[in-house]
Amino acid sequence: MDSETRQSSEIRDAVLRPLEETGLSGFHWRIWITAGMGFFTDAYDLFIIGVVTSLLTPIWHLTTLDLMLLNSTALFAAVLGALVFGRLMDRLGRKRVYGIEALLLMGGAILSAFAPNLWLLLVFRFIVGIGVGGDYPMSGIIMSEYSNRKRRGFLVQAVFAMQGFGLLIGPAVAAALLASGVSDATAWRLMLGLGAIPAGVVVLLRRRIAETPHFLLGARGDAQGAARVVGDLTATPTSAIPSVKPLSSSVRVLFKNRRFLLTLIGTAFSWMFLDMAFYGNSVSSSLIMKALSPTGTLLTHTLTSMLIFLVAAVPGYWVSALTIDRLGRKFIQVMGFAVMAVAYGLLWLVPGIAHQTTEFLLIYAISYFFIEFGPNSTTFVFPSEVFPVTVRGMGFGISASTGKFGAAIAAFLFPVLLISLGLSGTMALLAGISMLGVILTLIALHESKGLTLREASQEALLEADAPSLAQSASH
């Protein structure tokens, strides 16, 4: 590392130190609600489709293929959205891009509510999915880059925990509409259209957020601007600070450096394994309820799903948020995957349990708690921390898109798997996927609790390689 690079590194550490060491303040909570409301909307939009497809099936005479497409279109679109927005935020900056994904969520929800046929509904759900995918890297990274060292895990996870309220409100809205006497033809449109409200609320808030000091320092070399933002947030006096050497923003660093590549494999494929297990049973929860209780009504199934979310999923998010900075990301992820594997394994191995409603729902609820407590939370926190600032959006985008690809595959195939393998056989498949998550986490991911964001992201490796990377890029 040459003297210029060393001096730039020291300046970055000095400028960011007040932000890393400050306590929780009002600006943390403002960013949390601004980012978190997007995840509330994401969860509502993704999970309400399971009820909508149940209502639309007799109205539009949907086939199994139609159901597979409706359940998975937004998730396939999220694969693209995460990649596009991840790269845009690295190239253009967090501030210039933030809020566009919320506009897509709002517009897609409104258009979906007025869809006249299946094919246009699929197009509008694709727009929603682009917004959902974009929201993952944008909100996670902005919260991470504004957080302090000791409570970064809590703050990032608290953003993601808003998904739990979306999981709860989605079935609640569906149950209220189903019980109100509103016709099914109107109810499904209202369910989809209501997703525009929370998205619209946060559009203006997101456009007003200042550029993060991490991005100003790493991508722009603007130490004075970064110090000004940090000073405004932490009431720290600032003085004249020279510009620093920007870091490489070439995506190749994620693949040429073996440590970054191993980390990327760990964050991407653990997210994929989690989403294959999670979205398969969540998006198709109404199908699972029907398999358990074939004579039950859609309202009964929806209320049952909501009860499971209330007693298992929502507490799981917040227990994780409150303990992640003490227990660590890696420990929580391994434990969550392991309990998922055991829970799904019991549903597979114990004869007849799939037909014992109380026992099945108890195990199903336990698996939900540890999904939310474990890998569904940590697979979001890890990529917001472990990549250098100039490729953080792309690292997160690749991780999220890989996860959403797994989710889309699961949602697409889950109705067929339930028919061909039965409930027990499907749970055996989910148990195996969960065990793969345990193994990968142990091999590929390093603990980041208590570290500064620059330490957690191993940014010093990028600084040390800056001259050679710049030289290779010129060729």
Question: DSSP readout, 244-287?
Answer: -PPPP--TTHHHHSHHHHHHHHHHHHHHHHHHHHHHHHHHTHHH
Number of domains in the chain: 1
The C-alpha atoms of residue 157 and residue 134 are separated, in whole angstroms, by: 17
Residue 282 within any structural domain of the chain? yes
Contact 440, 276 (CB under 8 A): no
Report pLDDT for 77: 93
Which one, of 94, 95, 149, lies nearest residue 396 by Cα?
94
Report pLDDT for 468: 43
pLDDT tens-digit profile, the chain (475 residues): 567 778 888 899 999 999 999 999 999 999 999 999 988 988 888 778 878 988 999 999 999 889 888 878 888 899 999 999 999 999 999 999 999 999 999 999 999 999 999 999 999 999 999 999 999 999 999 999 999 999 999 999 999 999 888 878 887 888 889 889 899 899 999 999 999 998 888 888 888 888 999 999 999 999 999 999 999 999 888 777 888 888 888 899 999 999 999 999 999 999 999 988 876 555 445 555 665 566 667 677 677 777 777 887 789 999 999 999 999 999 999 999 999 999 888 878 886 776 676 777 777 778 888 999 999 999 999 999 999 999 999 999 999 999 988 887 887 787 787 778 877 788 888 899 999 999 999 999 999 999 999 999 999 888 776 544 444 433 3
Report pLDDT for 310: 82
Please give the residue range of the domain that contains residue 59.
Answer: 3-468
Report pLDDT for 282: 56
Contact 16, 223 (CB under 8 A): no
Report pLDDT for 284: 47
Residue 475 within any structural domain of the chain? no
Report pLDDT for 178: 85
Residue 253's alpha-carbon distances to 87, 217, 221, 451, in angstroms, are: 14, 18, 19, 22
Which one, of 189, 210, 64, lies nearest residue 120 by Cα?
189
Residue 269 within any structural domain of the chain? yes
Residue 273 within any structural domain of the chain? yes
Report pLDDT for 15: 94
Report pLDDT for 286: 55
CATH code at 418? Answer: 1.20.1250.20
Residue 265 within any structural domain of the chain? yes
Residue 181 within any structural domain of the chain? yes
Residue 473 within any structural domain of the chain? no
Report pLDDT for 139: 93
pTM of the predicted protein model: 0.87
Name the residue with tokens 């993601």: 160
The CB density around residue 169, as the number of other CB atoms within 10 Å, is: 19
